Every structure is written in structure tokens, then in C-alpha cells.
Amino acid sequence: MACAGVVASAGAQLDFTTFTVGARNVAVGKSTTAYFGFNNSTSTGSLQNATLEFANGTAYTCTVFEDEGTLFRVTFTGSPTDSDAAAFKRLIVGDQTFNRSDRASFGSGTYTFNSSDDVLHGANGSTIALQLRAD
């Protein structure tokens, strides 16, 4: 299977959706910065299918999927378990891969990844693929 520059086996894909990148300005001190992606509470961007299935078969609703410049944040409702067997091993956004084990933090359903790349900056209005993978 080939998807957005990624070649991998279909059996390792846990779930797949596409989203339209939106932008919102966030106050940071005395200035503002732009966050790009999807945020349900601010009606930024749109997610084709917000309910994504994890490795243990449990489905969670994605409410935030944002590039914050040096951090990439993904938030799910409920209480997802943070393990390879129950959650996912890799999150793929377009052609950028984030390994769950390399995340910066996890808590309250939010996975935060360090990102030196502005994964979604400049992609406002673009439609991008999102995969949760077990490999």
C-alpha cells in the first residue's frame, strides 16, 4: 500500500483518515503564533473521521491534532492506554512519522511529540492523510 509517500503493509495499519488543515492564532506572551491542524473546540480544520481505532480494538475520538511549531499534539477523548499493544507504535502525518515510544509526553489522552519540522505549517487548506500503525 502506498499512501502520501509512505509504503507499508495494509495489515499493520490500525486506522486511517484524512483531515483538512486549518490555522488559528494563539497568544504567546505579548505576541501571537499560528497553530496548524485540527482542533474541535476552536472549529479549526476538519477531520474526515474523528473516531480512530487503536491496536486493542477500542475506538477513541480525536479532538485535537495540531502542529504547534516545536510540538505536535494529538488528543483523544476517553482514557487511551499508552502502550504498543493497546495503542499504536507509529503515527504518520503525510510523510512525517512519529514513533509513540519517542513522544515527549502522554497524559489525559494527549500524546505530545517533539518536532523540529513544522509538519503542517504552510499547509493551511490542504488535505493530508493520517495513519495510526502497529508496525
By the 10 Å C-beta count (0-12 exposed, 13-18 middle, 19+ buried), 133 is classed as buried
> Domain span at residue 60?
2-6+15-133
State how far the Cα of 46 lies from the Cα of 126, in Å rounded to an integer: 11
**What is the rounded radius of gyration, in angstroms, for the C-alpha atoms of the chain?**
14
Given CA atoms 102, 26, 127, 110 in this order, what sign does their dihedral have? positive
Once rounded to an integer, what is the mean pLDDT over residues 19-32? 92
Kindly report the average pLDDT of the chain as a whole number. Answer: 85
> Are residues 65 and 19 in contact, defined by beta-carbon separation less than 8 angstroms?
yes
Name the domain count of the chain.
1
Place of cell 499508552: 82
Whole-number pLDDT of residue 4:
44
State how far the Cα of 22 lies from the Cα of 45, in Å rounded to an integer: 4
**Please, what is the Cα angle at 77 between 41 and 25, to 5 degrees?**
25
For 31-67, how does the pLDDT look when each residue is reduced to its tens digit (9 = 90+)?
Answer: 998 899 999 999 999 999 999 999 999 999 999 999 8
